[in-house]
Structure 1
């Protein structure tokens, strides 16, 4: 029955996106999350409720989205079975979940020394699934919490990309007494200046075209933005095997940009157990980067305060090329972080 379910899911996903409604796509997505990753019925109920509260949350507007690669093509690249190709039993033992990678510093640690893990793929964290987009930072944090995970802090995403998780070095001293926007921009400038000389990408020391999921097309009607005008013309997650960091995390460059938590004070760090959280930080690049590079996208680069808000604000930003992935602290259990 399990094999039949996977075959049927692949057949369903072969139907052109325009033939499906967002609700139908999401219903199949929830089934696949349960099938591929073993997310529990109770967790799925919480995830469904978050999706149901949004008119746009999902894998893109099916009326206009034209994905750059089919899921069948992605599976073929993975030898015919992406779920099997990306299984890593060692990582599963360390992280206690499928398709997560331990974050550590290879210079001084082993994977087993990791105290935090990160999703290997953009949410829904399933090989060859299309990323979830049109998600607010608040919704991303809530979805992660529903699975017993959390939104990553900026330095964790950067460590996953760089290939070494090092201690956080947020310049909280530069943020004191300033507005959020002024604090972010002052902290960002100091951070980028510190790391620019050692800039690298997830796949290597120099920017390269053709390596990641970055050669898609923007919808012709999209320049003005909006749900009705912009297709989420993404690739399936993990479709470029070479677009991986040294820690085996995929699509950090390319496919979708990703929500992250940027703390402005020590008590806003998700990695320290905070549910207050800081402000939004959008990491990485997106699916047309081989054609149009809107900003730098090296691993430790931090963005200006674009569409800035508190992570948990109901006004936090959403758009057609913005997704997320989750982190998990060792010992974190389902429901251990509630909002």
Structure 2
């Protein structure tokens, strides 16, 4: 029954978008998205209203400006690429551990079982439904608010990194370093010699959702000039980490929380949060690699702000995924 509901929603998306073109209005496309969210994640009316309010306040959040976005693959084409269809991604054990569908437990396989996980992470970029387009044009603050509305939270940087690298390590943020740049340098120097991608020990083209095209009119990154030409989530089944997390390379880049003090760690229950950290790469990476994107690499403080600042950054290839504390 649930699978039939998801497939019905995917068909609705295909009818709205047509052959890769985001043909509906932003409001129409978001309405399809809201219906999917409620059905797939079984959200209450109050949870859905909170999410609707966040989107409405933004005015830009969605799966790209439909006037210019041209997706290289439809949801229907995505479903056809997955061995066994989208049911391939439905893991009953993970759902039992995490309390929601399409989440992966975060743990260290060398010493722990999935059931030992203290946290889970979305398998896909939000809306965390396979074969849907990632939500972009989202501020870090809005991402944190959406996650909270779903009973989840924005991930700390080390959680996203562990999900990608296949093992959650204990947080070791060098809080005494004094600045984002100093903390980043210490962290990257520690992991540079063991750089790893979700799918293996070296960068590969053609494995992840990163061979799309940037809009010809896209210069400075404006809403009316840059299409969010993303792929449906999960459309590259080999772009997966050992913990079962998809699309951490390519498709949308992702907001995460970088705590600057122990009381800013989302994983320890903080709602104050730290500063913005952008993880992963985006949908033209096979053609243009703007920076490293190995799993534990931390980016410079681009467009930096506090996560909960109303002025936190948004753009056409920047989305998010959520984490959830369990146990």
Same fold (TM over 0.5): yes
Gaps of 5+ in 1: 176-182, 332-339
TM-score by length of 2: 0.96
Q: Provide the secondary structure at the position in 1 that maps to 2:251.
A: coil
Aligned partner of 1:112 in structure 2 is 115
Aligned partner of 2:259 in structure 1 is 263
Aligned partner of 2:221 in structure 1 is 225
Aligned partner of 2:29 in structure 1 is 25
Q: Provide the secondary structure at the position in 1 that maps to 2:277.
A: strand
Aligned partner of 2:54 in structure 1 is 50
Aligned partner of 1:291 in structure 2 is 287
| Bigger shift: residues 113-122 or 14-23 | 14-23
Q: What is the distance in 2 between the residues matched to 1:216 and 1:203? A: 19
Q: Provide the secondary structure at the position in 2 that maps to 1:230.
A: coil
1:37 and 2:41 are equivalent in the alignment: yes
**CA offsets 1:119-157 (integer angstroms, 9 cap, x no match):** 000000000010000000000000000001000000000
Q: What is the distance in 2 between the residues matched to 1:290 and 1:269? A: 33
Gaps of 5+ in 2: none
**CA offsets 1:137-181 (integer angstroms, 9 cap, x no match):** 000000000001000000000000000001001000102xxxxxx
Q: What is the distance in 2 between the residues matched to 1:22 and 1:134? A: 12
Q: CA deviation at 1:237?
A: 0.3
**Where does 1:236-247 land on structure 2 (aligned, <5 Å)?**
236-247=232-243
* 2:107–2:117 contact (8 Å) kept in structure 1: yes
Q: What is the distance in 2 between the residues matched to 1:272 and 1:167? A: 12
1:321 and 2:317 are equivalent in the alignment: yes
Aligned partner of 1:302 in structure 2 is 298
Q: What is the distance in 1 between the residues matched to 2:94 and 2:5? A: 25
RMSD of aligned residue pairs (Cα, Å): 1.4
Q: CA deviation at 1:55?
A: 1.4
**CA offsets 1:175-215 (integer angstroms, 9 cap, x no match):** 2xxxxxxx111110111011000000011000000000000
Q: Could you say if the C-alpha distance between residues 254 and 2 of structure 1 is closer, same or farther in structure 2, counting changes exceeding 3 Å?
A: closer
| Bigger shift: residues 21-30 or 73-82 | 73-82
TM-score by length of 1: 0.93
Aligned partner of 1:89 in structure 2 is 92
